[in-house]
Amino acid sequence: MTISVIANFKAKSDQKETLEALLKSVIEPTLHEEGCLKYELYISENDSSRYFGGVSKSMLKKTIWLLIK
């Protein structure tokens, strides 16, 4: 069985560069974890302070997002 994890991160306005650097720094180590098949990081096209990690861009487009605030 394959499990897909989609992580959604929203940076505070003064922490965008810090968050992006942190998220990029875990890509390589995560790829070496047992069972990890793929790990990708994307920046939202609509909000440059929002990041998605873990899946392909095509998978993000197929995912239904329910955001309740």
**Per-residue pLDDT tens over the stretch 8-35:** 899 998 999 999 999 999 889 888 888 8
Written in H, E and C, the secondary structure of the chain is CCCCCCEEEECCCCCHHHHHHHHHHCHHHHHCCCCCCCCCEEECCCCCCEEEECCCHHHHHHCCCCCCC
Tell me the pTM: 0.69
Token pair of 10 as six digits:
């929203």
Token pair of 33 as six digits:
């974890």
Cβ atoms of 55 and 6 within 8 Å: the answer is yes
Domains, the chain, ranges and CATH?
7-60 (3.30.70.100)
In angstroms, the CA 44 to CA 22 distance is 17
| Confidence (pLDDT) at 57 | 56
Q: Which of 15-24, 27-36, 46-55, 60-69 has the lowest mean pLDDT?
A: 60-69
